[in-house]
Structure 1
Amino acid sequence: MHLFEILVVLHVVAGTTGLIAFWLPIAAKKGGGSHRRWGRIACYGFIGAGVLAVAMALLSLFGPEERLPSVTDRALFDGLFGWMMLYLGLLTIGFADYGLAVVKHARQPAALRRARYQGVIAAVIASALVCGLYGLSIGVPLMMAVAVLGLAAMALQQLFIWRAIPPSPRAYIGEHFRALIGMGISAYTAFMAVGLIRWVPEEVFNPLVWALPSTIGVVLIIHFTRAAKRADAPRTRPAIRARS
């Protein structure tokens, strides 16, 4: 078995673990033991899948063997299985890392300004720019679209990290939800980029298929953001009427 095939098997195992575990903390009671346990499993599964995706992308771009010889358009192959897979792998890692970090540093969000976290965000931004520019050069709007989504997400994270006014004590909850749901979106998008072209290549550029993970993810982000804001809103006590 070649190195690339070994990486594919490991990637499928890690990714499947993350894809299954991803829905359990969403369904579980927020903040409970089950939520935290399955949330960590999903994050570590996706981080492992992301690392393996990066390795496979680099092998596809610079390895000695030709991958998927059935794909005759090698520029398109380099785009989808090279630069786009590299970017989506780093984006998945970035979302998972940030989602865990905002909880870990909930009381000291300034810790997210450290080089260790900023380096991950910088890697995501750099890979998004390469993905988008390569998509522009070969005329693939899909690569540009997913790159814009990642750049927007990283910009929102940086606004939270570098804001001048300290956030409220529970502001990290919304960031946590957005990051980990974004992690799920990027992982499912990566699955479609790699899986669809292998199984149903005629649907690989169907915009409805590609829009599905983002649509579900955005709905979940809005739902949990509104729920977090309601929970964070100050509760007013009813006025007590004085008895005459």
Structure 2
Amino acid sequence: MAVTPTLNFTFKILLFIHILAGTTGLVTGILNIVRKKGDKPHKKIGRLFLYGMIINGIAGLFMSIIHFNLFLFIIGIFSIYLASTGQRYLSLKNISTNQKPKTIDWVLSVTMLFFAIAFIIYGVLLLLSNKNFGIVLLVFGFISSSMAIQDFRNYKAKNTVKNFWLLVHIQRMIGSFIAAFTAFLVVNNTILPGVIAWLLPTVVFVPLIFFLVRKYKVTS
């Protein structure tokens, strides 16, 4: 499909917004990872991170439609889902008693599961065509499907961890940062093989997630 001058101009505006929001996400994400958790500055920085990642993701999705780009599409989906659910879990503290998740919670999780399945299927097809990018799709597909399933269990109050909402918040926000850092690395990478650039941030930061979850976990 031919891209009109108007769409090209729109793409440039979206690209500027995408870069600005992504940079905001990277900077604020690093700040909240390294500094004290839970105080007022953490919450204020966290809001900037949330808005940056959601705006970055939305801009990326529109850009991927104007000029088809699977990279932008995947990062956009992950950025929106991870940042949104990470924030939403702070409002689901009483779900183990009588609180019910809102419609937006189900929409986010069901949508992520749909795309996770699509990533897995497409990843298998790429591998069958001897394309290594299929590995990336499979990894992200299985990770995102496990998170969506985790959401469904939590929404049904089947989590035995007392402060599960805090742990999921940590997982999702750092996961959103991983998405932002992955985008930065892939775009600017001139040395690493493509698959390595895609997966390296996940390999580096997932251990941090496990460390923080163990540190803050409170069992019932």
TM-score normalised per structure 1? 0.75
Deviations 1:79-133 (A, max 9, x none): xx23x43232122111111111111232346656322111112222222332332
Aligned to 1:77: none
Structure 2, unaligned runs of 5 or more: 1-7
**Distance change in 2, residues 1:20/1:171 (3 Å):** same
Verify the 8 A CA contact 1:87 1:124 in the aligned structure 2: no
96, 103, 106: which one pairs with 1:118? 106
130, 153, 171: which one pairs with 1:178? 171
Deviation, structure 1 residue 180: 0.6
Deviations 1:133-163 (A, max 9, x none): 2333333322222222222222223222223
Verify the 8 A CA contact 2:18 2:59 in the aligned structure 1: yes
Verify the 8 A CA contact 2:160 2:219 in the aligned structure 1: no
Q: What is the CA RMSD across the aligned residues, in angstroms? A: 2.4
Equivalent residue letter for 1:182: G
1: distance between equivalents of 2:166 and 2:78?
Answer: 20
Structure 1, unaligned runs of 5 or more: 62-80, 235-244
1:205 correspondence with 2:194: yes
1:89 correspondence with 2:72: no
1:17 correspondence with 2:10: no
Verify the 8 A CA contact 2:170 2:209 in the aligned structure 1: yes
**Distance change in 2, residues 1:165/1:56 (3 Å):** closer
Verify the 8 A CA contact 1:125 1:150 in the aligned structure 2: yes
Task: Tell me the matched-pair count.
Answer: 206
Deviation, structure 1 residue 185: 1.4
**Distance change in 2, residues 1:132/1:166 (3 Å):** closer
Aligned to 2:155: 161
TM-score normalised per structure 2? 0.82
1: distance between equivalents of 2:118 and 2:22?
Answer: 24
Verify the 8 A CA contact 2:95 2:101 in the aligned structure 1: no
1:144 correspondence with 2:133: no
Larger Rg belongs to:
1
1:43 correspondence with 2:50: yes
Verify the 8 A CA contact 1:131 1:147 in the aligned structure 2: yes
